Structure formats: C-alpha cells, structure tokens
Amino acid sequence: MGWEVEYTDAFEQWWDGLTTEVQVSVAAYVELLEHRGPNPRWYRTQVTTADRLYDAHLDSLRREGLINGEEVP
C-alpha cells in the first residue's frame, strides 16, 4: 500500500526557491516516503517539524470550514 503525501503552501514556497538539483533530491525522499510511509530514518528526525506543520495545516482546514474541530486520524 502506498502513502499519499500532501504538502503545505509553506512547502510550495520553499520548493519554488530550490535549485533544480535540490528539487530532484527532495523529490527522491518524497517518493521514498510515498512507498515506505513515515518509517524512513530521515523522517523520524523531522517529526517535530512535520507535526507542527501538520497542526498548522489542520488549523487552516478548520478555519476554511473544510473539517470540524474534531480530532483527525
């Protein structure tokens, strides 16, 4: 089973500022995440950042009325 990887507006802005070479490198890690899920070693080192960004993303969805205030699995 593959994983769906979503990104935030902040990621898109960061991505747009990267060189093509760095984008290729990041894309390889995203592909790894899609295939293996949140188990790759590099991901575990970024959990704090990822959790913060995900919380901000959920807050944005709540403000837009796309989800309610309940916990999201």
* Angle, alpha carbons 22-27-31 (nearest 5°): 155
Mean pLDDT of 46-71: 82
Q: 57 lies in a domain?
A: yes
More confident residue, 71 or 4: 4
Q: Domain tally for the chain?
A: 1
Q: 69 lies in a domain?
A: no
Q: 23 lies in a domain?
A: yes
Question: By residue range, what is the domain housing residue 25?
Answer: 19-63
Q: 26 lies in a domain?
A: yes
pLDDT computed for residue 12 by the predictor: 92
Model pLDDT for residues 15-54, shown as the tens digit of each residue:
999 999 999 999 998 898 888 887 777 667 777 787 888 8
The answer to whether the CB of 58 falls within 8 A of the CB of 72 is yes
